[in-house]
Amino acid sequence: MIYFLGINGVYAEEILDIRFEPVTFPSVEKEKYALHASEEVVINKDKQKIGFTTLMSTGHMDNGEVYGLLKDSRDIPLTLHDGSPYICNGTSNPMGSGSGLDHVSLLQKNGKLYMVSQFECQVGAYYINELQQNTQGELSPKPSTLRYISQKEEFGGYVHCAGMKTPWESHLGSEEYPADAKLRQQDGSLDLYYDYIGDYWGGDLSKANPYYYGWIPELTVNDQGEVKYTKHYSMGRFSHELAYVMPDKKTVYMSDDGTNVGFFMYVATKAEDLSEGTLYAAKWTQLNSQNGGSATLSWIKLGTAKDSEIRAMLDPDHNVSTNDGLSFKDIFEEGMTDGICKAGYTPINTEAGFECLKVKQRMQKAAAFLETRRYAAIMGATTEFRKGEGITFDALGHTLYFSISEIARGMEDHAKKGNKDNQYDQGGYNHIRLPYNGCGGVYALAVDDSFRVLSMKAELVGKPIKDGFSYSCALESIANPDNLTFLPNSSILVIGEDSSYHENNMVWAFNTETKILQPIIILPKGAEATSPFWYNDINGYGYLVLVTQHPHPKSKNRGESSVGVLGAFRGLKQ
């Protein structure tokens, strides 16, 4: 028995000693197209056989539905130009778009186990089905339960990336890479990436608005199995990778995936209710630059709002097809001459680059929630992070973990990949000044008793290998860490990769006490390890849920994205 000081005083808690059987990187080319997972785990000297079980792959047909099939604003299935179904799998549809299946949540409700799946294509999609569990803890899909979840009442979905199961058993998703509303043209076209959303609107881009996308969706399942879907407009609009809810059920940390982006906190007015709250942005005050760097973090208040207030700015007449909401020009004035800001205009540098902006009268709330990143910069927050990704929390260690996929660009000091370059700091604050590390890192963030982050320090960084003009990351360390999860009552931080610097992406187990790092899953070539998420107690069993996204067509799944579980684990409930 080991004793810890908890947030409400001293308590006793036994740390689970969890040791995975190592997974060896395949040396034979054929084996690189297969998934390899740890087959044994020892938990407090109890040796258990585990393994990886695939639950469902894109293209799976059940109950008259096709898993991952995209649908338009009328909930009619979409087809590609050759007439084939438009399935969001990330590989086999060269005429389509997107990365494939991403986060999957397992929700327990009224004695049933539901699987909610979100898809990372420009036309976003959600599906739900039930799972069965046998007496050994093995999971499988329950036949005749697959259903499509409509998003048409909230302008459709967009690039659903990472997510989590909330403490109140709902699915909290994300919308990543929203278009820059400043670039919007009269016909709606912005760029080739955003233009795929036109498929949702029947090919008419003028019906779309960039402000429709870049939010946090939430899906709840009631006792009858019916799904309630909403977008939380009060949580701010940016490139949401993940929103992570803390144990107080009010504080939420949100990562922003891109270049020159922010790190955000939302505090709900009421626990378990994300429809109203206050939005904050982090300011990095650097302490040192060694080994990924460290800083204190302070929080700048951007505003307080209800979902309904912000939604009214997008859809004043409550008709989702008329596109009569606010535009960028309604919110900001621009003032730059010969690369210099005019008096009264604030110089900022965000993913949109160097700008000189002024918020128009009575538009502060619109700026804070529709243009969160730009407004955060205007208010003095840090918008220099590069590819903020996964977030997870160690309750015993009272530490939040946050992955930065690449320590680069705005995080450097007037540089790009170590070479002098002014574009990412021009006009900005240059708060972050770190050496380039293309392999990225995972940061440990100390939090106080109210779950507010106080500081940020690199816990683990990748090890770059440079060979002439080539650049890679050492095989024994992380490369471009993406999503994270923490095994409660243990010291095990699980890290998924999204990298081209390792031939095969891996899922790692990192012991935060011993600092031992080992791979527990090696994915097929071409596949990204998306959204690993730990479930501690599903009828007495534990599971690590993982999505194998867009594997190579030579893989066992023939290029289809799939969701599966490592487990089942016993003896984890505390």
Residue in 210, 223, 209, 124 with CA at minimum distance from that of residue 173: 124
The region of weakest confidence among 202-206, 281-285, 380-384, 451-455 is: 202-206
**Cβ atoms within 10 Å of 85's Cβ, excluding its own:** 15
Q: Mean per-residue pLDDT for 225-230?
A: 97
Cα pseudo-dihedral 195, 200, 201, 207, rounded to 10? -60
- The whole-number pLDDT of residue 4 equals 40
- Reported in sequence order, the residue ranges of 325-452 that DSSP labels E, i.e. its strands, are 332-334, 336-337, 340-341, 346-350, 353-359, 385-386, 388-394, 399-404, 415-416, 419-420, 441-447
Place of tokens 């006490």: 513
* pLDDT of 275 over the 70 cut: yes
Instruction: Quickly state the pLDDT bin for 558 (edges 50, 70, 90).
Output: confident
Instruction: Quickly state the pLDDT bin for 320 (edges 50, 70, 90).
Output: confident
Q: What is the pLDDT of residues 106-154, one digit of tens each?
A: 999 999 999 999 999 999 999 999 999 999 999 999 999 999 999 999 9
Q: What is the pLDDT of residues 375-414, one digit of tens each?
A: 999 999 999 999 999 999 999 999 999 999 999 999 999 9
Q: Is 81 exposed, middle or buried (0-12, 13-18, 19+ CB in 10 A)?
A: exposed
Q: Mean per-residue pLDDT for 351-361?
A: 97
Distance CA 103, CA 120 (A): 9
* Helix H or strand E segment including 365: helix 364-370
Distance CA 374, CA 301 (A): 14
Mean pLDDT of the chain: 94
Q: What is Dmax (Cα atoms) for the chain? A: 71
What phi and psi values does residue 330 have, to the nearest 5 degrees? -75, -25
- The whole-number pLDDT of residue 95 equals 64
DSSP assignment of 261-309, as one string? E-EEEEEEEETTEEEEEEEEEEEEEEEE-GGG-EEEEEEEEEEEEEHHH
Whether the Cβ atoms of residue 497 and residue 479 lie closer than 8 Å to each other? yes
- The whole-number pLDDT of residue 186 equals 54
Can you give the length of the chain in residues? 574
Q: Enter the tokens of residue 309.
A: 């207030």
Whether the Cβ atoms of residue 283 and residue 297 lie closer than 8 Å to each other? yes
Cα 206-329-265 angle, rounded to 5 deg: 95
Distance CA 106, CA 538 (A): 9
Q: Is 226 exposed, middle or buried (0-12, 13-18, 19+ CB in 10 A)?
A: exposed
Predicted TM-score of the model (pTM)? 0.96
CA 43 to chain centroid, in Å, comes to 29
Reduced to 3 states (helix: H, G, I; strand: E, B; else coil), residue 546 is strand
* Measured distance between the N- and C-terminal CA atoms of the chain, rounded to whole angstroms: 13
